[in-house]
Structure 1
Amino acid sequence: MYNLKRKFCLIMIMAIMSMTIFTGCSNINPNDTVATLDKKNIRMGVASFMAKYQQASYDQYKQWFGEDMWSKDISGNGSTLTETVKENVLEELEEFYLLDAHKADYNIEDITGDELKSIEKAAEKFIKANTDKAIKQMGTSKEDVVEYLRLYTIKNKMHAAIIADVDTNVSDEEAAQKTVSYVKIETTTTDDDGNQKDLSADEIKALKDKANSILNEAKNGGDLEELIKEDGYSVDTHSYDVNPAKEDSKEGDEEDSEESSTDDTMKPVEEAANALTKEGSYADLVTSDDAIYIVRLDSLFDKEATNDKKEEIVSKRQDDKYQEVLDGWKKDAKWEVNNSVWDKLNFDTPFSITTDETAK
C-alpha cells in the first residue's frame, strides 16, 4: 500500500503539475522555521508545499461544497476544512521527521544517489511547470520539494523495515468467512423536506406480503434475481466472520465502534443466516427497524472472502505495529510548532491543477 502511495506521489509531480493561481499574494517565507523536532528546525517551505498541494486537490470540489468550503465543517468533526487540513499536514510533517531521525534504529541509510537524481528531476519539472508567482504564492522552493520527496522516500523505507517482523500467518479458523445473499426492502421513505419517515402499517404489510411471496417462490427453486427484477430490487452479498473475535475491553469497543457501525446494520441478516446449515437455503423473512430482508446462505466457508480477510488481518497487524512504534517515538520527542509562522498559511487564494499526462 505504501509503495503504491509513493509511486502515485512521484508520478503526480513528475507529470508536470501546474498550480495556477487566480488572485492574491503570499506573506509566507519558506525559510522560516514552522516547527522543531528535538531542536531540528523544519522549514515552512516544506509544510507550505504539502498544504498547498492538498489545497489544489480540494479546490476542485468547490462546485459541490461552495466557495466558502474552507470555512465549513465538511467532515462533521467540529473543525473547519482549513483547520483539518492544516492539522493533518502538521501530523504528517512530524511523522516524516520522526522517521528520518530514527533511520539508524533500522539500519536505513539516507536516499541513494540514483534516488536523489530522480527526486531532483521531479522537483525541477514541478518548478519549471509553474510561474514564479505561483511558486511564491505556495511559499515553497525547489529545495522544499526535494526535501518533501526525500522524506517520503525515507518513510517508505522505514515503514517496510518497521513491519518486517510482523507475523503474516493467519489460520483459516481466524479468518473464516461466511457469505450470504440478501434482498433489502426498505420500510421507510423520505418526505419533501428530506426527512426520513416510516411507511404506514398497511404499506409495510403489503411489502411483507410481497416479500413472503418472493421468498416462497425462491424456496421452491425460483431464481431470486429474476423474481425481484420487476420490483426494482437487487440482490447483494455480504461476507462476515464465522468466528467473531471477542473484544478485550470496553476501550477496544469504543475504538472500533466507528469501523463496526456499518456492520451493525447487517446483524439481523447475519443472525438469520447463522441459523442455516445448508448452502442455498433461505431464512424466514427478516425484519428490522427500517427494512425487510430476504436472506440466502451462499457459503458456510467462502474461500475467496477468507483469503481477503487474511490480507485485512495482516494489514491491520502491520498498521498497529507501525503506529505503536511511531507513538513511542512521539512520546519521547519534543515537537513544537511555531504558530506565529503557521498561522500565516491559509487557503484563501484558489489554485487550479493542470497535469501534463504525457510527461513521465
Structure 2
Amino acid sequence: MIESWRWFGPLDKISLPEITQTGASGIVTALHDIPYGEVWPVEAIAARQKMIADIGLLDWMVVESLPIHERIKRGEGDLSPLFATYRQSMANLATCGITTICYNFMPLLDWTRTTLNAPVQGGGTALRFDRQDMAVFEIFMLERIDAEADYTPDIIDAAKRHFDQMQPHDKDHLLASIMAGLPGAYDRYSISQLRDELVKYKDIDHASLRANYSRFLHEVIPTAAELGMRLCVHPDDPPRDILGLPRIVSTHADIAWILDEVDDMANGLTLCSGSLGANPDNDVPQIAAAFAERIHFAHLRNVSIDDDGSFQEAAHLDGDVDMVALVKILMAEEQRRWQNGRADHEIVFRPDHGHELLSDIGRGTHPGYPLIGRMRGLAELRGIVRALAHGQKD
C-alpha cells in the first residue's frame, strides 16, 4: 500500500518539507484556487506538480478533488459547457501523468461536523457531529421548513433548551463549524446565504439527484477510460440526508448502483472508512470486500457512534470500524491485482483526519487535518500494513 498525505497547497499551514518527515511519499491535493467550473490549465497543474517534486521524495499521486459544479448536481440549464470543462481538466491532468481523481457528489456541502474541537480523553481535540447541535442549527437558527421531522421529540426539546441559552458568539461558532467542511471552497455561507442556496435544491429529491449523477457518469467516465484515468467517488459524510438535501452515496446499495451504472474500471470508489462507518448499518470491511476491484483510493480513519446517531472522530485504531480487518482486505486485493499482472496493483491510501495533539493545538491547520494527529494515524496504519505483510510472507 502506498502512503499518501493530503496537502492543501501553498496556503496549507503544513509545509511539504514537514510532510516528507511523516514518511508518506504520495501527495493528495488540488488546485483549490481555481473556481468550480473552470478548466485546470496544464501550466497550473505542471507548476503545482513541480513544486511538489522539487522537494524530493514526494509525488502528486491523487487529485482531491476536481469539484463538480452545483449546477450539474441540480441538472440546471445547459450543462454541455460544464461537462466539456470537466473533461478538458481531466485531459490536462492526464497530460501531466496524474490519473486518479477523487470527487464527491454531495449537494452543496462537503463533510459536516458541529464541533471542531471536542475534547479527547488524555488531551487533544477531535471533530464531532452532534445530533442535538445539528437540530439547534436546522430548526432554530436556519429555521428550515419541516426540519423537526428529522429529529425525535427528545432531541428537539433538548435543542430548544440549548438554543435559548446560546449567546451570539455560540451561534457564530456553530455556523463556522458546519461550514468548515468545505476545504476546497474558501467562501463560506451565512445563514441567509445558506437559505438561498437550499432553495435552489427544493425540487431535488433522491431520484432526481441520482438521475443527475447518472448523467455526469455517462458524460465523463468514457473520457476517463480513454485517458487511462481512474475516477473514484467519495461517500457522503455523514452518510445520511442533511439540511433536507438528499444523499445518494451512503450505503452498500448506493455504491452498487454507481458502479453498475457505468460498468467500467474508470468508474471507481474512494473507500472512506470514516464516512461509511458513521452509519451503523454499514459493515465497512464487507463493503470493501464487495467492491475491492473498483477501489482506486482509500481514506482510513475511525469513528465512534452514539446511540442517537451522533459520532466523533476516534483514533485510527479505536472506534467502531475494524481497521485491521479492513486493511487486510485491501492488501488481499493488492495481491490479487499483482497476480493478475496489473501494473497499478498498489492502493494509495492516506490517514484521514486526525486528533489535534501536542503542537497541533493553536496552529490553525485545516480542521481535521493536523500534523501530529495524522502522523500518529499514519504510523498506526503503517504498523498494521507491516504486520500483515509479514504474515503474508510466512
State the TM-score bracket (shorter-chain normalisation). under 0.3
TM-score (structure 1 length as normaliser): 0.25
Q: Which has the higher contact order (CA 8 A, sep 6+)?
A: 1
Bigger-Rg structure (1/2): 1
User: Comparing both structures, which one devotes a greater share of its residues to helix?
Assistant: 1
